[in-house]
Amino acid sequence: KIVSINPMPEIGNFRFKNPQDLKNPLRVPGLLFGEGLKLSDLWVPIRINGDVAVLKGIMKEMLAEERKRPGSVFDQDFIKNFTAGFDRFIEDLEASNWDDILVSSGVTREQIRAACEIAFNSKRIICCWAMGLTQHRNAVATIQEIMNFLLLGGNIGRPGAGPCPVRGHSNVQGDRTMGIWERMNEMFMQKLGHEFNFDPPREQGTDTVETIKQMHRGAIRVFIAMGGNFLAAAPDTEFTAKALEKCRLTAHVSTKLNRSHLITGEIALILPCLGRSEIDRQSTGEQFVTVEDSMGIINPSRGVLEPASQQLESEPAIIAGMARATLGDRSSVDWEGLISDYNRIRDHIEHVIPGFERFNERIGQDVFYLPNAARDHRKFNNEIGKALFTVHPIPRNELGPGKFILMTIRSHDQFNTHIYGLDDRYRGIYNGRRVLFMNPEDVKEAGLTQGQIVNLTSHFGEGENRYARHFQIAAYPIARGCTATYFPEGNVLVPISSVADRSNTPTSKFVVISVAPAADAEAAAEDIRLAARGAV
């Protein structure tokens, strides 16, 4: 069974159609004209950031059922042998107030009970989440609350169970495994230094938000982007643009042009590179790279298309070229040799990164899993060797008159910052992206109408406001008091200083806004038309 916890209904959960059915002539009519398959057994329409509250409600119901039938809901053996902090967690759960839970979550106790009944009867539970949870001030606490829920049922280290963080695209997880992080541990530094005969700097670097701030105040003068559309993806668009303009050098390694290339430092470079779909030929023959997916599986990636130009270099070749030009004789690394044969790069990875033993041998045979101590052995790599129950308060997201919570979302014709078209057919939106989704009752109470053009103001701290002009109202079954607009158009409303505790992630899923009718409707409509033409 599938439980969907989401402020908005997603059509894929209720009318799923498999696009691969186009390959089967017998299934094409059903794909084109059928109603689709209902995947979700239950939709829990919480308020934005109501996740902690609804999870506490679910676990509170589980606790009541466990006390009626000891051992029927909680995995007591797992809790006793593999966890710590259970008693304190239960004390907090008992003290949680149902009124607070229902107000914060925005759902009824009956809806929470319905989710509980599915959990009661499930011996293996998987919890999936993505940026809908990570882009809140209390994001870490929310994810730890998910872990509390999984720990209660012993759903760690059990086949078909466990946490499933969906960690994006473009090998973002593999980047982190390879050391692309501003706070890599000492063991990594020692192994890297030993492998390449140098002493890596121990000073911590800066994450995305802190990098933008330091560029803005002139402390960072060089910006190099390995792919991506940094300006469009980052929060606080105007602030980020000014930060880039203060750099001495901005350089982008890119497969295609994008808007980040238009906002530059004093010197600007665009270094075109091969895409992963293109054949990468080096002196020893065709090469391949590897990627790591969200499940910790290492996969080979080989291009199959002829390069758009014979002058294009691969990303590894560009990195090696920059290193060679920058370091010269100070480096003992054979940069040319590494690029001539990527197997040599993988040999070095094998010596530095745990889990990549016999890297070339294994990837030559098939994909392989990286080791995961909790999944494989129920071993937890902390000081006490046990999974920790944690305690977190229920957020009190009280809004003043005329205020709403905004989250940014993607459309159907979009892949991250890549916008392929102006339609979001799953939500009934066509030929435009400057849209504000609002609950129909909220639209009515605010004195607004379907299709009306409005201006948005975000509110953060004392008088720290951001503005976005000319969005059209779209009445939609989103939770009361909640709104949504598309990313990246909505990024201008996300303050650079509004970040998640501990992770420092921008809070793009929780922005307090007010909505006001646009003064000049005719000029606003023309602005929306122009914006639509320039979005793709």
Q: What is the CATH number of the domain that holds 119?
A: 3.40.228.10
* Domain shared by 70 and 200, yes or no: no
- The secondary element (H helix, E strand) that includes residue 318 is helix 315-327
| Residue 32, pLDDT score | 83
| Residue 264, pLDDT score | 98
* Domain shared by 247 and 292, yes or no: yes
Contact 96, 396 (CB under 8 A): no
Does 299 reside within a domain? yes
| Residue 534, pLDDT score | 64
Does 397 reside within a domain? no
Does 338 reside within a domain? yes
* Domain shared by 109 and 195, yes or no: no
| Residue 505, pLDDT score | 96
Q: What is the 3-state secondary structure (H, E, C) of 474-516?
A: EECCCCCCEEEEECCHHHHHCCCCCECCCCCCECCCCEEEEEE
Does 395 reside within a domain? no
* Domain shared by 136 and 224, yes or no: no
* Domain shared by 446 and 357, yes or no: no
- What's the average pLDDT block by block, 10 residues per block, for the chain (536 residues)? 96 87 86 87 97 98 95 96 98 97 98 96 95 96 98 97 86 92 96 97 96 98 96 97 98 96 98 97 98 94 97 98 95 96 98 98 96 96 96 94 97 90 93 97 98 97 90 98 98 97 97 95 77 65
Last residue within a domain, chosen from 365, 388, 411: 388
Beta-bridged to residue 437, according to DSSP, are 474, 484
Does 398 reside within a domain? no
CATH code, 234: 3.40.50.740
Does 394 reside within a domain? no
How many residues are present in the chain? 536
* Domain shared by 382 and 480, yes or no: no
* Domain shared by 245 and 359, yes or no: yes
Does 17 reside within a domain? yes
pTM: 0.93
Does 393 reside within a domain? no
* Domain shared by 514 and 530, yes or no: yes
Rounded Cα gap, residues 10 and 219, in angstroms: 43
Rounded Cα gap, residues 423 and 413, in angstroms: 6
* Domain shared by 187 and 328, yes or no: yes
Q: Name the domain count of the chain.
A: 3
* Domain shared by 369 and 439, yes or no: no
* Domain shared by 190 and 98, yes or no: no
Rounded Cα gap, residues 319 and 325, in angstroms: 10
- The secondary element (H helix, E strand) that includes residue 86 is helix 86-95
Classified as helix, coil or strand, 465 is strand
Rounded Cα gap, residues 162 and 197, in angstroms: 40
| Residue 150, pLDDT score | 98
Contact 338, 311 (CB under 8 A): no
Residues 332, 328, 226, CA angle at the centre, nearest 5°?
95
Rounded Cα gap, residues 212 and 241, in angstroms: 9
Contact 463, 100 (CB under 8 A): no
Q: What is the DSSP letter of 242?
A: H
User: What are the strands, taking DSSP E only, across 139-203?
Assistant: 162-165
* Domain shared by 148 and 240, yes or no: no
| Residue 535, pLDDT score | 61
Range of the domain at 207: 172-373
